[in-house]
Structure 1
Amino acid sequence: MSFNSLASDTLSAVIETTLDTIDATKSVHLQKENFKKLSSYLEKTASILQQLTKFDFNDPETLKTAINALTKHVSEAKALALECTTRNKIYLLLNSKRIVTILEKTTKDLGNALNLFAPLISSNGLSQEIVKLSNILSDSNFRTTPVEDEIKEKIELGIRERNVDRSFTNNLLISIAAAIGVSTEQSVLRTEYEDFKTEMEKMAMASTADVAESLQIEQIVGLLGKADIIATVEEREKKYFSKRNSLGPQRLEALQSFYCPITGDVMEDPVETPSGHSFERDAIERWLAEENSLCPVTKTPLKSSALRTNKTLRQSIEEWRDRNTMIDIGSMKSRILSDEEGEVIECLGGLQGLILERDLHQEWVMMEDYLPVLVSLLSTKNLKIRSGVLVILRILATNHDDRKESIARMDDAIKLIVCSLARKIEESKLALQLLMELSDNDLARNMIGNTQGCILLLVTISGSDDPQAANDAKQLLDNLSFLNQNIVQMAKANYFGPLLHLLASGSESVQRLMVETLSELEMTDHGKLMVCENGTIELLVTILSHNDIDMKKAAILALEKLSGVPQNGLEIIKQNATEILLGILFRESLSIPSLVEKIVATVMNLALSLPSQESDHREILFLESEEDVFKFFSLISLNGPNVQQSVLRTFLAVCQSPSGLNIRNTLRKICAVQVLVQLCEHENQNVRSNSVKLFCTLTKDGDDETFMEHVGPKCVDTLLKIINTSDNIEEGVAAMEIISNLPRNPKMTQLILEAGALRVIISILSNHFHKPEIMIESASGALCRFTISSNKEMQKKVAETGIIPVIVNLLYSGSALTKKNIAVSLGQFSENSNSLSRPVERKSNFLTCCLVSPDTGCTVHSGICTTESSFCLVEANAINPLVKVLDDPDFGACEASLDALLTLVNGELLQKGSKVLEGGGAVAKMVKLLSSPSVRLQEKALVALERIFRLPEYKQKYKTSAQMPLVEITQRGSSGMKSVAAKILAHLNVLHEQSSFF
């Protein structure tokens, strides 16, 4: 094997490792943005290496050094990516700085290694590309996120301060869960922590620990282990009752040392002086700030800098407080059950103060089983007692889904809370706030909605004079509107039922009031559906013909609101509302110009509902007549941006409906293209964007004359400007698809070329790793127009840009549509390769013939081929990626790839082309395609194999594997395919040419 062949194989191995590393970066748990950045660098590196495989090198030692260095650093990157995929997430979070440091070093090393290739190649363009990428890699920087830094600072603080407060460690663990992307559910957090603990213990035993900038493993594990949210409810209850049962029934008096000598109160944050006396921090700091320079007790000089936190005393005070709080909570329950209302009110106030003080106290209250006691008090006659209970229940329920469910499951709890809705406004508001909190839980929400009278009470409150109560009631009604069918039926009966009854049977003045109410009422989609299930649409459509302008206006506003739900929109169309609305728009809108925008918006909503109609239903007609289409489209020229946008969105939706072809033909007939070309320059982005999208839709199946007449250089320049500058991806893609769809005749293609479209397409495809996939798809489709085989000069201009190696690489990473488009272009290129292949010059001089080996020709085309001159697929290294696409589940991509490969066996190329296809594994893939679900793929593979199997070596090799699929085709294929399959079986000597068996 020659040196250059060996170098090519080695580079291919490095490419394979690079691609594996890119795959590995996609599975990392953390540092996703940093690894995404590394992945983009590796994609560029792989692209350059792919191009290097075609070069001849004359410096073996330097090349070997470069390849070894690159292999080493790519492998290091792969190892780091795999580590960040397999290691515990908490461990990775704490090691984020180390990971970032390694990422940065590895990337710089990759840049230095890549730079070694630059002097080895003769191509200035590629050499400059290598140097440019090398500089980017060498200057790359990676950073930890602010969240990661903040978490590590909190861990350091917790270890330094020896903070044992549960809320600190709980919040810390919740922050870690959010940062590593796991649920804060107890079971999930516990599993993650236990995995982290086990991994850290193994590291400690192996003496390989290097965690979070020298923090000790056991300190971190110990700190996180203090969070009680990783303990089960049973574990926390066991710990609580074990401690409480060890206490006596009486509260303990505070020790003298707990009191501050200055304030005389028990200290919260004690600090110690050098003389050993402790003071409340705020008190002693104020003392010293008031120009007192002596200790209040010892009268010795004292500076604030000498104060130190007395952690031991603070912990003792906290333990004393917790002990007394446990005793208070445990003893308070019997007092709350007292017949003395004054004592009950006092105890409820004390209990409220305790649970507001600390989350831990709330948990103790729940463990002491206070819920049944509290719920029972909701049936008392005393307003203050009921109000106190409602407040406490809301505090307990806030941010605790399990407690919400526990409250809902208590006997008569929801019923008693709903009863409070009907009492005095102060109590009603408290009950409403509690129900709002409970409604976040699925079980509680269902029970609230199913409670008799609840919906009606909420409707009543929603109309009250108290804005806060009315707003809360409406919000709770919205929450309840998403419930199961039982609640939906209740909402119909209690909420929408009276409204719709008055709409249907009330007097004209009442009807007007009800229609206006309906048009102004804020409703969820479920509410809109409920309204329309009661015959409302039919009534509103009838009112459209009313003589009362205000009545008609209210009905239009209501229809606009209700038509926002597709099911309603279809029903409105079925009631022939479209024709009536258009009649009002075209004949009466001058008398009520303010309605134009509303009518057009309603028609737009109706159009948007069309794509949702089910295929098994009869087609729903919309904008049937050419006159209606013309008049409605003409509104674009007569109104402002809001109406223009609605009209454009209407036609976009209709064009995507089952009757879309007829509408598209009508729009082209009325010269809509001419208007859309102008609107592509509109200053309003929404109008412009929708114009481009509708223009794109019309180009997909239009005739050449329409576009040749109205699309000129200015239009193409505008489209290219949109592609280059628009922030709206869909708009840019639509503009690119217009470029692709415009007539592919020489005149239009030349116009597009002169406008610079090819440069834009090449730029997008060359920088595909920075572009959205849908833009790559549209750009690759647009490229096809410049690669048609009938225009060799155009093909040459494309090839000279160097784009062929780039699009070959896209066969590995592009979407199915991108692969299809690329395969089409490569196939079009390849159709001319044989005629463009330069004949090999034969030397006549005897001595020259003996001493110098002649130029070897292309293995398929026999002459001298290059990517730029003959567009040869072999020289472009396109065979393997095209063969790989034959496995793609997308039939379009597979078929295009097969078409491209079969250009290598056209006519006289059969013998040599078959050999190349066989070497790339294509023939075996064609045999598999005989069993494809796609009839077109079957047929194409069948015709190709009929020719290839004429060659003895392939006939013998594939006789066994091809026999059964061929027999299957002879039995179940089309008549034409049966004949070809039988002919191949005859080639394979499975049956005679004259056999009539099949």
Structure 2
Amino acid sequence: MVTPVTRSRARAFRGAARGAPEIPLAVRRTWQDVGGEPEPAVPTHFLCPISLEMMRDPVTAPTGITYDRESVEGWLERGHATCPVTARPLRLEELVPNHATRRVIQEWCVANRGLGVERVPTPRVPVSAFDASELLAAVSAAARRGDGPRCRELVVRARALGKESERNRRCFTSAGAARSLSSAFCHLARERVVPATALEEILAALVLFLPLDEESRRSIATPASLDSVVSILSHGELPARVSAVVVLREIASSSDSQCLEAMSKTNGIYSALVKLLKKPVSPQATKAALVTAYYLVAHTELAACLLVDLGTVQLLVELLVDADRGTTEKALALLDSLLLTAKGRDAAYAQALAVPVIVKKMQRVSDMATEFAVSALWRLCKNVAADDGGCKAEALQVGAFQKLLLLLQVGCEGLTKDRASELLRLLNGCRNGAECIDSLDFKALKRPF
């Protein structure tokens, strides 16, 4: 049996947590000054029994107890199935908005506005499971009819409701929003005369209701759907392009071989991804493009060759100069994958900054970045024939030997440790022919590149 959460016990818990006797909330607030005047004590019946804060959206349970909606819904979502005060059974759908109490609280706030009390806004009515299902069904029906404008109107409404609150978003997600929207996108994509705005709105809504399940991914991974996504990615407005690449990332990162195969055969997908790296529109879009490209390269070597031909290695080196942690990890991962190919290594050898940047990112970013940086440098230095030893000499000059020694001393494991050790052996053979500089001297190279 769940022990009821009474107001006195909750206060005792809060006082114990602070290591001091608990002072009633209403009394504490009278000690606070707002503009030189004492703040009025909040009436006890305005306080939620769970949070002990003034209720903003009061709802009443069948037990007769009134709670703040956010607090009691959080209680139920954490696995409880009883009224916190009475311990009687309670379900989410049994909560009823208490408009009378909410109006009284608002009137009290208005009356005490001069003392710094802000009025509690009128809460929006949350979406019910039935309402969400009905709206999504209407979206699907409009899409099957090929009615793009109506479908767009309904999707805009669903997205707006989902953005109102996390509760609404979860409600739509549970009602199968991802499946309905992806299916709608698939139907409309087959209609050549459907306005692009309808498809863009569906992608924006899909981003809100992620993740995609297998059925949803397969709907977007049809040839017609992927052509539309790539078209939006290449020519759409900035927000639409972000939505498109995030959806592609979601599909690619599932490692679904069928979806990846379809993506790899979509015309223009590689140039669209490279365009996002060359002319970034947002950090989110850049990271999504990197992840998408990474999984495509992992799926087929042809993707690596196509990306290298589009100048991706140079773009990654430039991107790594001032990238944040997340972007650095993803860019190094993609670069390491491209260096698996001879084309990728040749492109890196042709970049004067490739080795200095990789060595620079070998430490002080993250363990993941270190792993990919060591792997990338290992791929470059191991291929002695193509580079005639110049790569190793350059690595020595920018302090790679010292950093690898430090890395092994601090500790690394598995493949990274093996490759760091092999790199040290490779570099050690060139130490007599190249002058090593101290790693501190490398700081001077930070700004020029």
SS at match of 2:176: helix
Amino acid at match of 1:695: A
The answer to whether 1:676 aligns with 2:244 is no
2:332 is matched with 736
2:431 is matched with 868
**Alpha-carbon distance change, 590 to 623 in structure 1, aligned in 2, over 3 angstroms:** closer
Cα deviation code 1:346-366 (max 9, x no counterpart): xxxxxxxxxxxxxxxx96xxx
2:360 is matched with 763
* CA displacement at 1:480 relative to structure 2: 2.7
For 1:577 and 1:866, how far apart are their aligned partners in 2? Answer: 59
**Alpha-carbon distance change, 814 to 750 in structure 1, aligned in 2, over 3 angstroms:** farther
For 2:310 and 2:156, how far apart are their aligned partners in 1? Answer: 44
Cα deviation code 1:609-654 (max 9, x no counterpart): 137x8xxxx9974424222222222211231111111111111111
For 2:297 and 2:336, how far apart are their aligned partners in 1? Answer: 9
For 1:187 and 1:578, how far apart are their aligned partners in 2? Answer: 48
1:480 is matched with 72
1:629 is matched with 226
CA contact (8 A) 2:333 2:372 kept: yes
**Alpha-carbon distance change, 589 to 595 in structure 1, aligned in 2, over 3 angstroms:** farther
Question: Which of 211, 221, 224 lines up with 1:609 in the alignment?
Answer: 211
For 2:224 and 2:194, how far apart are their aligned partners in 1? Answer: 19
Question: Which of 804, 809, 812 lines up with 2:409 in the alignment?
Answer: 812
**Alpha-carbon distance change, 490 to 771 in structure 1, aligned in 2, over 3 angstroms:** closer
Cα deviation code 1:468-497 (max 9, x no counterpart): xxxxxxxx322332122346955413449x
2:373 is matched with 779
1:543 is matched with 138
CA contact (8 A) 2:358 2:377 kept: yes
For 2:150 and 2:198, how far apart are their aligned partners in 1? Answer: 12
**Alpha-carbon distance change, 430 to 631 in structure 1, aligned in 2, over 3 angstroms:** same
CA contact (8 A) 2:245 2:289 kept: yes
Amino acid at match of 2:212: L
Structure-1-length-normalised TM-score: 0.32
* CA displacement at 1:587 relative to structure 2: 3.7
* CA displacement at 1:677 relative to structure 2: 1.2
Amino acid at match of 1:478: E
SS at match of 1:483: helix
CA contact (8 A) 2:59 2:69 kept: no
For 2:201 and 2:241, how far apart are their aligned partners in 1? Answer: 12
For 1:522 and 1:658, how far apart are their aligned partners in 2? Answer: 40
Cα deviation code 1:39-71 (max 9, x no counterpart): xxxxxxxxxxxxxxxxxxxxxxxxxxxxxxxxx
Amino acid at match of 1:603: L
SS at match of 2:382: coil
For 1:827 and 1:567, how far apart are their aligned partners in 2? Answer: 53
For 2:156 and 2:306, how far apart are their aligned partners in 1? Answer: 41
What does 1:319-718 align with in structure 2 at a 5 Å threshold?
Answer: 395-396=26-27, 398=29, 434-436=46-48, 438-441=49-52, 450=61, 452-453=63-64, 476-484=68-76, 485-486=81-82, 489-495=90-96, 531-532=128-129, 535-544=130-139, 545-546=141-142, 552-553=151-152, 555-560=154-159, 561-562=161-162, 565=169, 568-569=172-173, 571-572=175-176, 576-584=180-188, 587=191, 590=194, 595-606=198-209, 608-610=210-212, 621-657=218-254, 659=256, 661-670=257-266, 671-686=268-283, 687-703=285-301, 705-712=302-309, 714-718=311-315
Unaligned runs of 5+ in 1: 1-182, 190-228, 234-361, 364-392, 401-428, 459-475, 497-520, 834-864, 872-998
Amino acid at match of 1:688: T
* CA displacement at 1:702 relative to structure 2: 2.5
CA contact (8 A) 1:641 1:684 kept: yes
For 2:18 and 2:27, how far apart are their aligned partners in 1? Answer: 23
What does 1:230-249 align with in structure 2 at a 5 Å threshold?
Answer: none
Cα deviation code 1:233-252 (max 9, x no counterpart): 6xxxxxxxxxxxxxxxxxxx
CA contact (8 A) 1:673 1:707 kept: no
Amino acid at match of 1:657: S
**Alpha-carbon distance change, 715 to 581 in structure 1, aligned in 2, over 3 angstroms:** closer
**Alpha-carbon distance change, 674 to 628 in structure 1, aligned in 2, over 3 angstroms:** same
* CA displacement at 1:809 relative to structure 2: 1.9
Identity value in percent: 11
For 1:721 and 1:574, how far apart are their aligned partners in 2? Answer: 36
Amino acid at match of 1:556: V
The answer to whether 1:788 aligns with 2:382 is yes
CA contact (8 A) 1:626 1:666 kept: yes
* CA displacement at 1:701 relative to structure 2: 3.2
Amino acid at match of 1:827: E
Cα deviation code 1:355-401 (max 9, x no counterpart): xxxxxxx96xxxxxxxxxxxxxxxxxxxxxxxxxxxxx86237599x
Judging by fraction of residues, say which structure has more helix: 1
For 1:602 and 1:702, how far apart are their aligned partners in 2? Answer: 30
Amino acid at match of 2:51: D
Cα deviation code 1:269-308 (max 9, x no counterpart): xxxxxxxxxxxxxxxxxxxxxxxxxxxxxxxxxxxxxxxx
* CA displacement at 1:740 relative to structure 2: 0.9
For 2:310 and 2:157, how far apart are their aligned partners in 1? Answer: 46
* CA displacement at 1:760 relative to structure 2: 0.9
Structure-2-length-normalised TM-score: 0.65
**Alpha-carbon distance change, 439 to 558 in structure 1, aligned in 2, over 3 angstroms:** farther
Unaligned runs of 5+ in 2: 1-12, 32-40, 84-88, 98-122, 435-449
1:754 is matched with 350
If you compute each CA radius of gyration, which structure gives the higher value, 1 or 2? 1
CA contact (8 A) 1:787 1:828 kept: yes
For 2:300 and 2:333, how far apart are their aligned partners in 1? Answer: 13
For 1:620 and 1:551, how far apart are their aligned partners in 2? Answer: 24
What does 1:110-189 align with in structure 2 at a 5 Å threshold?
Answer: none
Amino acid at match of 1:759: P
SS at match of 1:725: coil
For 1:748 and 1:551, how far apart are their aligned partners in 2? Answer: 47
The number of residue pairs the alignment matches comes to 363
* CA displacement at 1:539 relative to structure 2: 2.4
**Alpha-carbon distance change, 623 to 595 in structure 1, aligned in 2, over 3 angstroms:** closer
Amino acid at match of 2:261: N
CA contact (8 A) 2:290 2:331 kept: yes
CA contact (8 A) 1:636 1:647 kept: yes
Q: What's the Cα RMSD here? A: 4.6
2:422 is matched with 827
For 1:720 and 1:574, how far apart are their aligned partners in 2? Answer: 36
For 2:43 and 2:206, how far apart are their aligned partners in 1? Answer: 43
**Alpha-carbon distance change, 481 to 627 in structure 1, aligned in 2, over 3 angstroms:** same
**Alpha-carbon distance change, 722 to 554 in structure 1, aligned in 2, over 3 angstroms:** same
CA contact (8 A) 2:186 2:219 kept: no
**Alpha-carbon distance change, 786 to 539 in structure 1, aligned in 2, over 3 angstroms:** same
Cα deviation code 1:660-711 (max 9, x no counterpart): x3322322222411221122122422333432332233223331x4333442
Amino acid at match of 1:440: S
CA contact (8 A) 1:655 1:697 kept: yes
For 2:375 and 2:171, how far apart are their aligned partners in 1? Answer: 36
CA contact (8 A) 2:287 2:327 kept: yes
**Alpha-carbon distance change, 586 to 620 in structure 1, aligned in 2, over 3 angstroms:** closer
Cα deviation code 1:824-881 (max 9, x no counterpart): 2433665x79xxxxxxxxxxxxxxxxxxxxxxxxxxxxxxx8573699xxxxxxxxxx
